[in-house]
Amino acid sequence: MQANNSNRHSKSTHHIVQKIATNIVCETITKNLKADFIISQQTENLESFEHASVEAISMSWLRNRILIENVIALLCKKKPKQKVIEILYTASADIISSDSDKFAKVVHSWVEFAKKNLSKFESGFINAVLRKVPSTIQEILSSKVGAELLSIKYSHPLWLVEKWIKQFGEEKTEKILSANSKNSAVFFRKDFSKEADILAEKYCAFFENTKYSNFLKLKNGEWNNVKDLLLTGHFYVQDPSTFFAPRQFNPKVSKQYLDLCASPGGKSRTIADLINSSDISDQNSLLVSSDLSKRIKPLRENISKIKNIKTAVIECDILSENLAEKLQKENLPKEYDGVFIDAPCSNTGVLGRRPDARYRLTQNDILLCAEKQFDILQKAKHFVKVNGLLEYSTCSIEEEENKEVINKFLLENKNFALKESFTLVPSEENDGASGALFERIA
């Protein structure tokens, strides 16, 4: 009797997972909302194991959406009812994320779910379609070539794949797409203190080392064992790609720095840690971090964890408000030894971490981002001292947002010179990012 109750409970739980996952797929199609918001909203009352199951299916859908849509379109001569197609999409995502020896079991579970929610004919149709999904995937992938194959195989918009092939070549583009198709790792960045080293050693069983000396990769399922590290102030959840621009910026002790577009504060924390990495004891360093009012809460929380240097937080829209007046009101400098900008961007360097963004993105979005980025640079330049530095950072890998913005800025500002720049493409070890370091020479 207990076994039967347990079995019924297990089936009930699985049907809850299937229902919530199907709801998420539906909302990602019909609502222009970020997937993490949708998933969070739909799973807030679930147990942890249910949440994990729903998230696995949802992420499989987001990482394989174009492939799944092609498969279902090929298998359905006529477009089914919306409820049917939502189950077909969600079930296909579950199949793709499962081991091949479990395909039949996964199909059976979704047919049982369909029987409870749809007609006998519709559940039979779903059964017939789902059993052909694995072979149809192979059929589609073997019939396409070039950009079209890469677009479907890795579920990225065709226009973006063609754009990347033109910029990076087909081989490098496929490596970027492949990296984006994998589950993103969670990285902890530790500061340079002895206390951080001691804690890292104490918790080493829960992490894997990386090629980046101050970054640790969290092992699967170990979040609850390490989350308290974030309360110490010595650790921050951050991808290694976010370290490249602050390292290029190379902040020094006894200097004054301004971090614009700073929320949630990861780059500010990194800048502070780089200053504090010096053995020189100094209380003259200043870091002022600024962002929009609606983004200020997490920024304040992170800045409060910075020790050993002076800090300040300013609420300001750099494009529409007078930052100089706000700085003066708070008795803060108007010019700085270095200004850091982590500019709003298209996020094409982090499409592996935010897979839903690729379906909302358009070519025009990239151009609009570039215009805004240039305008921010034009505002930021006024706060740089002569011989001071200006770091321009994005998590985009697009030339329009990086190379072209940099060249335009140099063309219109002869008193600035480019010292160095980089573009880091996504890989299994890091997200993508770009950065450029300018010096004000007059």
pLDDT score for 389: 98
Residue pair 191/276 in contact (Cβ under 8 Å)? The answer is yes
pLDDT score for 6: 40
Percent of the chain scored above 70 by pLDDT?
A: 96
d(CA 40, CA 51): 9
Residues composing the chain: 442
pLDDT at 11 over 70: no
pLDDT at 206 over 60: yes
- Grade residue 10 by pLDDT with cuts at 50, 70 and 90: low
d(CA 403, CA 408): 9
- Grade residue 284 by pLDDT with cuts at 50, 70 and 90: confident
What SS3 state is found at 207?
Answer: strand
**What integer is the mean pLDDT of 412-441?**
98
pLDDT score for 9: 41
What is the sign of the dihedral through the CA atoms of 196, 422, 164 and 396?
positive
Residue with tokens 């070549």: 169
Closest by CA to 421, choosing from 398, 392, 396, is: 392
pLDDT score for 283: 74
pLDDT score for 152: 98
The answer to whether the peptide bond before residue 264 is cis (omega within 30 degrees of 0) is: yes
**What integer is the mean pLDDT of 296-321?**
96
**Tens digit of pLDDT for each residue in 409-420?**
999 999 999 999
CA 76, distance to chain mean position in Å, is 34
Percent of the chain scored above 90 by pLDDT?
A: 92
- Cα 282 to Cα 77, 148, 167, 273, 286, distances in angstroms: 72, 57, 45, 13, 11
**What integer is the mean pLDDT of 181-207?**
96
- Grade residue 8 by pLDDT with cuts at 50, 70 and 90: very low
CB atoms within 10 A of CB 234: 23
pLDDT at 282 over 80: no
Residue pair 44/37 in contact (Cβ under 8 Å)? The answer is no
d(CA 337, CA 324): 16
pLDDT at 149 over 70: yes
What is the sign of the dihedral through the CA atoms of 291, 296, 301 and 307?
positive
- Where would I find the H helices in 118-169? 120-130, 133-143, 146-153, 158-168
Return the structure tokens found at 410: 């140099």
pLDDT score for 196: 97
Return the structure tokens found at 235: 């650790």
Half-sphere exposure of 287 (CA within 13 A, CB side): 30
What kind and span of H or E run contains 434?
Answer: strand 433-440
d(CA 425, CA 347): 12
**What single letter denotes the amino acid at residue 61?**
W
Q: Which residues pair with 311 in a beta bridge?
A: 287
pLDDT score for 4: 41
What SS3 state is found at 341?
Answer: strand
pLDDT score for 311: 97
**What integer is the mean pLDDT of 110-138?**
96
**Tens digit of pLDDT for each residue in 317-367?**
999 999 999 999 999 999 999 999 999 999 999 999 999 999 999 999 999
Residue pair 148/158 in contact (Cβ under 8 Å)? The answer is yes
Residue pair 237/231 in contact (Cβ under 8 Å)? The answer is no
Q: Which of 157-161, 281-285, 337-341 has the lowest mean pLDDT?
A: 281-285
**Tens digit of pLDDT for each residue in 331-342?**
999 999 999 999
d(CA 362, CA 136): 29
Residue pair 180/186 in contact (Cβ under 8 Å)? The answer is no
Closest by CA to 309, choosing from 260, 261, 358, 257, is: 257
Residue 98 DSSP code: S
Closest by CA to 283, choosing from 257, 306, 253, 312, is: 253
What is the sign of the dihedral through the CA atoms of 292, 270, 332 and 344?
negative
pTM of the full structure: 0.93
